[in-house]
Amino acid sequence: MDPSTAAQPLDPTFRSYTAPQAAAYAAGRGSYSPALYEYILSQHKNNGGQSDLLLDVGCGTGSVARDLGRFFDRAMGLDPGEKMIDTARGIGGETRGGEEVDYRVCGAEDIDKVEQIVEGSVDLVVAAMAAHWFDMSKFWAAAARVLKPGGSVALWTCASLYCHPSTRNAPQVQQILSHLEDVTLAPYVLESNRMSRSLYAKLPLPWTCDPPIAEFDQSSFIRREWDVDGVLTNGQDFFAGGGETTRADLGSALGTASMVTRWREANPWLANGEKDCVKMAMQELREVLGVDKGSEQEIKLKTGSSTVVLFLRKQV
C-alpha cells in the first residue's frame, strides 16, 4: 500500500510523546477516585468476573494498571507510545500477588497479538480516557479473542473541566475554563476529542460495528453517567475525582491535554511563555480568585469533569 494512502492512527499526539512529555503527563494526571474504581470492580465481580488477569489498554503512563492491578493476580498495561511505556515502567506498580505490572508497547487494535496474552485468558479489559482513540471494530474483535468467557470490558472517559460551585467566584472561574476549551483550543479539537466530550454517545459498540462482533452479550451492557455538564450528581463532589488544586497544578494537568499539545506545536514561539494558552488562562484565574486576606496565600479552586462508564461482558 502507498504510505500516503495508509490509514493514519486516530491518535497523532500521545503516541508521539517525547520522554519529557511523558514525564509531564505522569506528573500532571492524577489517579481516579476510589468510587470510580469501586463501581467498576463491583460490576465486574457481581457478574461473576474473576481476578486473575487485568488488561489496561491505552494505559498511558500506567496509573490505572497500577491502581486496579492491586486487585488482580497479574496486570498488564498496553500503549502505542514508546515513551509512555518507558515512563510507566520507571514508575512500576505491583499486583496483589506481588508481581510487577507488565507494561508493553502495543496498540488497542493488536492486543490479541501480544505473545504474553493467551487467548481467552483476560478477566477484565479497561480503557480510561482512551477508547475514543481506538479503531473500535478492531479493538472489539481483539478483545473478544483475549477475554475469558464471561469476562468484562469497562471503558470510561471524563469530559470537559468544570468548577465546583464552592469555589470562590465560581461563575467567573467557569467562564475562563470554558473559554479556554471552547474558543482558544477549538481549532485543535479532533473528532476523537468530540467523541469524548459527548460522553461516548456515539462510540461504536460490538453490535453496532460492521460486521457486528457477536461474542459480546448485549443484554449485559450498562451505560452510567455522572456530573453531566458539571451538575453534581450527588450534590457534593465530582464522582471521578478532582478536588482542590492550585493554579500551578491545574496548569500542569491542562498541559497534558492533546488539544493543548497541538496548540503548542502550532504556536512554538508562544508555547510555555507568557502568551501560552494555559498560562494566560491561569493568570486570568489568579485575578478572579485573588488571595486570602489573612495569609496572603493563593486561593485554591476545586474542579472536576463529567464522567461516563460503559460496561459489558463477553458471552459465556
The Cα 39–Cα 60 span in angstroms is 22
Cβ-in-10-Å burial (0-12, 13-18, 19+) of 249 comes to: middle
Classify burial at 13, counting beta carbons within 10 Å of its beta carbon; exposed 0-12, middle 13-18, buried 19 or more. Answer: buried
Model confidence at 134, pLDDT cuts 50, 70, 90, reads very high
Cα Rg of the chain, angstroms? 20
Instruction: Supply the pLDDT for residue 155.
Output: 99
pLDDT interval class at 296 (50, 70, 90): low
Indicate the CATH number for domain 3-314: 3.40.50.150
pLDDT at 3 over 50: no
pLDDT > 80? residue 127: yes
pLDDT score for 306: 98
State the pLDDT at residue 20: 84
Q: What is the pTM of this model?
A: 0.92
pLDDT score at 44? 98
Q: Is residue 149 very low, low, confident or very high in pLDDT (cuts 50, 70, 90)?
A: very high
To the nearest whole percent, how much of the chain has pLDDT over 70?
95
pLDDT for residue 5:
33
Beta partners for 94?
A: 100
Q: How confident is the model at residue 293 (pLDDT cuts 50, 70, 90)?
A: low
CA distance 128 to 44: 16
